[in-house]
Amino acid sequence: MDSLLAIYHINATSHDIAARAAALALEQSVEMPEAAIRSQYVREHTLAKVASITPLSDRQHRVVIEFRAATTGLECGQLMNILFGNCSLQEDVQLVDVEFPQSLLDAFAGPKFGIEGLRERTGVYDRALTCTALKPQGLSAVELGELCGTFARAGIDVIKDDHGIADQTYAPFAERVYECQRAIDAAARDAGKLACYAPSLSGGPKALREQIRIAASEGVEMLLASPMIMGLPVFQELIADEIRVPVLAHPALSGALRIAPPLFYGKLFRLFGADAVIFPNFGGRFSFSQNTCNALVSAARDTSFGGCRTTMPVPAGGMNVERVPEMLTNYGIDTMLLIGGALLSAGDQLLDRSIEFVNQVAATSQQLIAS
């Protein structure tokens, strides 16, 4: 039987949980009372089933719901609808994990490049990758290009737009991409520093396709996308059909969901095509725990995930150079460390501070390899 198993945590007492689990299965598959279902085919092939119920505490249970893969239409929007569409409105439910059948894994190509492809693009094979962000929004395209050039001369591997930089009048997309990619090319030519600039995609489908075209025409070798802002089906389709370079996925807007981060960022973003996934690092200005971050990273790099290429984890959010040894010791070198504001705080010493970041990542990576 070609099915997927969705795992939920439901807040309910032992007295109520059986009925609550059955209601969830109905809600997510047919959205009507079971007594009203007259079709035998629907009962056998569409209606979800409660596979198991396990108590976690007096008032919380682990519930596994079995859905037929065909009900997803093998399409990511309907997959998300089946898994968490209506029940995302029910505060007692959290989606924790999903076990996918091979048919669904085969329906989505996953990352086109993944960790190996990112290393090939950057020419870095013996250390973690470095990343920073161009900010704040409000700078002109020329100013952003100059900032990009400073980071590139320092040897930072990936220089991305801040996700809040879109197509504003003070730094239009086409002008910004021209200035930033020109700075990248100059650093490669003059200082021998190979870097990738990743402009932020924004807008509706027409604007997105035009931005992808512009980026390709300027020789851009990476793109930044926010899957929840552009929409998961658009994100997945653009990667599958339009984008020919690695994609960094940004988590903006996704924190409003009650979906476990290891599943959402580590599995689903990966399944839909993200080559690297930015996530809130523990100990920063967000609330992810170290255990959550480590589970997310394990999911992103799990080589047994249906033949999908692995996705590079990108911890971010309140990081600084002093934490580099701690972060790499925790995550390992198949990681991209993203430090933005902490570098920009160096002011006139930005170039030196950025070089310190690059050197610290290289030194720590070599220590980890040697040990």
Instruction: Please write the tens of the pLDDT for every residue from 278-331.
Output: 999 999 888 799 999 999 999 999 999 988 999 999 999 989 999 999 999 999
Which pLDDT value is given to residue 10? 98
Q: Are strands 158-161 and 129-134 parallel, antiparallel or unpaired?
A: parallel
Q: How far is CA 122 from CA 128, 147, 196, in A?
A: 11, 19, 7
Domain ranges of the chain: 3-104, 114-370
pLDDT confidence band for 1 (50 / 70 / 90): low
> Can you give the length of the chain in residues?
371
| CATH classification code of 3-104 | 3.30.70.150
Residue 13 in contact with residue 58, Cβ under 8 Å? yes
Closest to 245 measured CA to CA, from 113, 110, 108: 113
- The DSSP call for residue 112 is S
Under DSSP, is residue 55 helix (H, G, I), strand (E, B) or coil?
Answer: strand
CA distance 9 to 93: 6
Amino acid identity, position 62: R
Domain 114-370 has CATH 3.20.20.110: yes
Lowest mean pLDDT among 47-61, 158-172, 244-258, 353-367: 244-258
The answer to whether the beta carbons of residues 225 and 248 sit under 8 Å apart is yes
Residue 242: other Cβ atoms inside 10 A: 13
CA distance linking residue 18 with residue 233, whole number of Å = 33
**Predicted confidence (pLDDT) per residue in 91-111, tens digit:** 999 999 999 999 999 999 899
